[in-house]
Amino acid sequence: MPHQTVNTVDNHSHLRLNARMIVCVCNAMSEADIRQKAADGLRNFDALRAETGCSDCCGCCESTARQVFAEAQTEQRRQFVLPLAIAAVA
């Protein structure tokens, strides 16, 4: 029996989102839009939903939108906490 080549798929490619990728089609919210809202000070996903309507229509994007928002909040905390930690050591 001849050896067959199997094409593999990167099952984690969806985790490396592009900033221009539309996350919420219903409200035309991109990953960059969600990250900007987190940077602008929205404190939780419910606030994002209330202000933008993201994931409020069909709900198909909710898990991805939550993931992007949580990552953006984590990045915001790092940008704030790291300089304070360095200053405390100095």
For the stretch 33-52, pLDDT in tens is: 999 999 999 999 999 999 99
Those residues whose C-beta lies under 8 Å from the C-beta of residue 87, and which sit 6 or more positions away, are none
**In whole angstroms, how far apart are CA 19 and each of 11, 15, 86?**
19, 12, 30
pLDDT score of 51:
96
The pTM of this model reads 0.68
pLDDT score of 26:
95
Q: Which fold has domain 13-89?
A: Arc Repressor Mutant, subunit A (1.10.10)
